[in-house]
A and B are shown apart, each in its own frame.
Chain A
Amino acid sequence: MRNQIFHIFRKDIHQHWREIALSVAIIVAYAWHAVSRSKTPADYMPYDFSFLSQILPWLVVVSWALLILRSSHAECLVGDRQFWVTRPYEWKQLLAAKLLFVAVFVNVPLLILQVFLLVMTGYLPISHISGLLGLQLLWLMVVILPVMTLATVTASIGQFLLSLLGVLLYVIALGSLSSVVPAAGVSGGNSVTTWLCILVVVGTTLAVVLWQHSRRRTARSRILLLCAGAVVPIFILATPYRILIERVYPQAAAGQQLPVQLAFDPAKPASNEGGHPEKNKVHVRIPLLVSGIANGHIVLMAGSTESVKAPEGQQWSSGWHGSGGFLLPNRQHDQTYITIDKDFFERVKSTPVKVHITYALAPAHARETMRIVPQGSQFTLPGEGRCSFSPIATEEIACVFPLKAPYMLVSVKSDEITCAPRQKETSLPPGTIGYGWIWSAAVFGAEFGVSPVIVRPLSLTDWGEIKARDLRSRVCPGTPLTMFANWEDLPPTRTEIEIDGIRLADYQLNDAPGGDMGGFGIIVP
C-alpha cells in the first residue's frame, strides 16, 4: 500500500471514537466554563479557586494524554505477540499516522480552543500566530512527547501509570538536588547545564520514539531513557558553577560604574524574626544599605557567596547559591540571608568576625515608563494588557494578556493613594513608594497552559520596611500607577562587601515553625 498513513489513521479513529468524543466533550466544557465565568476581561479573577476551574484543565490534559496513549498502544511497540508486527506496516508511515492522530485530535482542538478564547476575550488571533505556535511547541515538549515516549516503552495503561509515577518521583528527587548543589540556583551560571539537560531529555525521548518505531528494541530503549535520567543529575553535579558564575558575572573593572552600591548597615536590627528551623543550620540576616539605583532600573541579586573568618583562623564559606531578590530604586535597605553550619556558628557566634559577601548582580532598565490613572473601567497596559478593578475582590486589579504577561514593575506613591480609609486603618507615611510585579513565565513567546488568556493580579506587595498589613496600601480608582515595562538586560557584574568585627549572634534569626517554609506548588495548566 502506497499510503498507510490515512489507512491506519482511519482505523485509529474507528477504534478510539469514544476517547475522541470524551476529549471533545471536555474541551467544550472547558470553553463553556471559561466563557461563562469571564464574559469580559473585568470578570477574570486573578485567583480562581472554583472546583471546575481547577479540575477542567487537568481533565483536558488527561483526556489528551489518554488519546495519545491509546492510539500508540493500538500498535503496541512492546512485546512479541502483536499481530501487526508481522504485517507489512512501514514504520515511518505508522509513526506518521500516530503523529497525524495527535495533530488532529490534540493540536488542532488546542489551537481552535485557544483561538476561540482569544476571540471571546477580544484579542485578534492573527496578531498572535507566533505565540500560538510557541504554545503548540510547548505542548509538544511538555505533554505530547513525554506521553508518546512512555507509551512506546510500555504495553498497558497500568505500566504507563507506573512509569509516569516513576518520572514524577524522579523530577521531585531532581528538584531536591538544589539543596545539594545550591550554586545551581544562580541564574545565568546554570544556563549551560539547563540547556544541556533539556537537550539530553528531548533528544533521548525523540530518539526513543524513533528507535521504538523502527526497531522495537524495548529493553534498549528503556535503558537509554534510564541513562538519560542518570546523565541529568550528573550534569547538575559536575557543572563547574563557580567558574561559570564568575564568567557570567565578571568583577567590575576599576572605575566602572556599578549598577548599585551596597554597604553594611551598622544600625542594630530591630527584629530577629523570620527564621525557620533547619537541621544543623543557623540563619543570619545581614542588613544592607542600598544606593545608586536610578529610577527605571532594577538589579536582580542572582546569587551570592558568603565567607566568615574568625580571629583564631577558623573559616567557613557558603559557596555560591541563588538569591533571587530584586533591588529597587528608592529602597535604601535590604538584607542578605546567610545559612551557616551550626557547629561553626556556635564556635564563633560571640567573637567579632570578618564577613565577606560577593554578589552576582543582573541589572536591567525599563525602556518604557508610563503613568496610568486607572478609573472604574478598563485600562490598558503594554503587551495588550487589559486591566480593571475586580468586581469580586474590590481594590484588586486583574489584568489579562494574550499568550504571555510581560514583566512589569508597578509603583505607587503613598501620597497619591485615593482609597478611602477603613476603620482603624493607618495611613502610609508620606513619600513611601510601594512596588508590585506582574511576572511572566513565557517560553517560546507564550506561557504554558490550556488557555491563552493569561490572568495576573496587579497588587502592591512591597512597601519596603513598612509592614503594609494594617496600612492603607491599596489601589483604588484614581490612584496613579507608574508602570515600568519592556526591560533591557544590562551587563551583569559582581560586587563585594566586607564587614569587619561583627558578632554573628547579634544577627541570628529566631527559628519560628512555619516561617519561610519550602514546599511544592501545583501549577494548573
Chain B
Amino acid sequence: MMSSIIQTENLTKKFRGVDALNGLNLDVQDGAIYTLVGPNGAGKTTAIKILMNIFGPTAGRAMVLGMDSTRIMGHAFTAIGYVSENQEMPGWMRVDGFMAYLRPFYPLWDRDLENELVQQFDLPLDRKLKHMSRGMRMKAALASSLAYHPKLIVLDEPFSGLDPLVRDQLIEGMLARASEATILISSHDLAEVETFASHVGYLEQGRLRFSEEMATLTERFREVELTFDLPPTLPEKWPESWMQIDASGVVLRFIESRFEEERTGGEIQKLFGTVHDMTFTPMSLRSIFLAMAKAGRGRSA
C-alpha cells in the first residue's frame, strides 16, 4: 500500500488578509511525480513554501515525510531536495566550493553521484555562482539537491525561462532519481511536465480544483466536435462537465471534462437527438490547463 509523502488538510495562508491559499487538501503518494499546475498567483509557490516551512500556515496543517511542516528544519532537510527558480545562492562561492561546503551537511552525500551530476549538467567547477547564467545556477542547485539521495524532491518552477537544452538536462537529471524519490514540481511548462508527471493537481485562486493521476486526467478530457445536418436547437442548460461551448452553424464544439465515450455519447443523444458526425479528440495537458484556466476566469468574472 502506498503511503502519503505530503498531505495537507485545509491548508490556508493569508498575506495581509488576502487569501493566497484557501483550504488546500493535497495528497502526494510515495513515488509519485506530482505536478502542481495553475495560473500565476494560484498559490503554487505559497503551498510549496509552507511545505518547506519557509512560511507558516495561517490555518490548517501539512504533513511532509510524516512530520508537521512547521517542524521541518535542520536535520529534516537531509531527506529533502528543494530547488526554486528564484533561490538566492551564495554567489561568491565557486561550484566546487559550493558542493564542498554542502557535503558535510548530508550524511548520505554521494561523491560519485555528485561527480556524475556535475558531468551530466556540464557544470564548470571553477566558476563562481554569481558569474554563471540562470540556467547554470539552476543546474548547480539541482545537482546539490540530488547528490544526497533525497526522499523528497521539491522543485518550484524549475524550468521557467530556461532554454530547451537546459530544461532537458534538468529533467533527465531529475528523472534519473525518480525511482528513489517522490517528486513535487510546480511548473508552467506543461508540455515538458506532461512527458513525465504521474499525477497532476490544478490549483486556482488558492484552491485545488482537481488532483489526479495523469493518465486519468488525459483520459477524461476530450475536445468534442459535433456536426449536425441542420443548425441544432441549443439547450437552456448545458451539462456541467462541458466547457468552452462554441456553436457555429451546424458545428458544435466543446470540451468534455468527464469523458466516457458511452456516457458522453448518451448525453449528446439526449440533448440533440441525431448527430451527423461526432469526434472525440484527446487533449494535451497544456490544452486542458488552458481550458481550466479560461473556465476559472469565466467563473471569477
Contacts and interface: CB of A to CB of B under 8 A. Distances in A.
Task: Tell me if chain B binds chain A.
Answer: yes
Contacts of A79: 88
B52 A86 contact: yes
Given A7-B104, A81-B84, A81-B87, A91 B56 contact: no
B48 to A, nearest CB: 10
B101 interface: yes
A87 B49 contact: no
Interface string B65-101: 0000000011111101010101111101000010001
B74 A89 contact: yes
Interface residues of A, number: 21
Interface string A87-99: 1111100000000
Interface string A11-45: 10011000000000000000000000000000000
Nearest to A216: B54
Contact of A88 (B84, B89, B106): B106
Contact of B73 (A4, A80, A82, A91): A91
A437 B71 CA distance: 60
Contacts of B86: 81
A85 interface: yes
Nearest to A86: B82
Nearest to A76: B88
A82 B106 CA distance: 18
A22 to B, nearest CB: 16
Given A83-B90, A88-B74, A4 B141 contact: no
A86 B80 contact: yes
Contacts of A81: 84, 86-88
Q: Is the interface of B mostly helix, strand, loop or mixed?
A: mixed
Contacts of B77: 86-89
Interface string B38-78: 00000000000100101110000000000000000111111
A83 B89 contact: yes
B210 interface: no
Interface string B93-132: 0000100011011110000000000000000000000000
Contacts of B55: 80
Contacts of B52: 85-86
A217 B56 contact: yes
A89 B89 contact: no
Contacts of A83: 87-90, 141
Contacts of B106: 1, 88
Contacts of A7: 101, 104-105
21 contacts: A1-B104, A1-B105, A1-B106, A11-B101, A15-B90, A80-B55, A81-B84, A81-B86, A81-B87, A82-B87, A83-B89, A85-B52, A85-B54, A86-B54, A86-B77, A87-B77, A88-B74, A88-B75, A89-B74, A90-B74, A91-B73
A74 B105 CA distance: 17
Contacts of A15: 90, 92
Given A80-B55, A217-B56, A88 B105 contact: yes
A14 B93 CA distance: 10
A157 to B, nearest CB: 15
Contacts of B107: 1
**6 closest Cβ pairs, A-B complex:** A86-B82, A88-B77, A90-B74, A81-B88, A1-B104, A80-B54
Contacts of B82: 86
Interface in A81-119: 81-83, 85-91
A19 to B, nearest CB: 12
Contacts of A11: 101
Interface string B12-56: 000000000000000000000000000000000000010010111
A4 B92 CA distance: 20
A88 B52 CA distance: 12
Given A1-B104, A1-B107, A89-B105, 14 more contacts: A11-B101, A14-B97, A15-B90, A15-B92, A76-B88, A80-B54, A81-B88, A82-B87, A85-B54, A86-B52, A86-B77, A86-B82, A87-B105, A90-B74
A144 to B, nearest CB: 24
A508 B80 CA distance: 79
Contacts of B101: 7, 11
A89 to B, nearest CB: 6
A245 B129 CA distance: 63
B75 A90 contact: yes
A82 B105 contact: no
Contact of B49 (A80, A89, A91): A80
A219 to B, nearest CB: 10
B229 to A, nearest CB: 60
A4 B74 CA distance: 11
Contacts of A89: 73-74, 77, 105
Contacts of B76: 88
Nearest to B81: A86
A89 B56 CA distance: 18
A81 B75 CA distance: 19
Contact of A4 (B80, B88, B90, B105): B105
Interface string B205-248: 00000000000000000000000000000000000000000000
Nearest to B154: A86
Contacts of A91: 73-74
Interface string A64-83: 00000000001010011111
Residue from A4, A74, A85, A89 having most chain B Cβ neighbours under 10 A: A85
A85 B48 CA distance: 13
Nearest to A92: B74
B64 to A, nearest CB: 12
Nearest to B74: A90
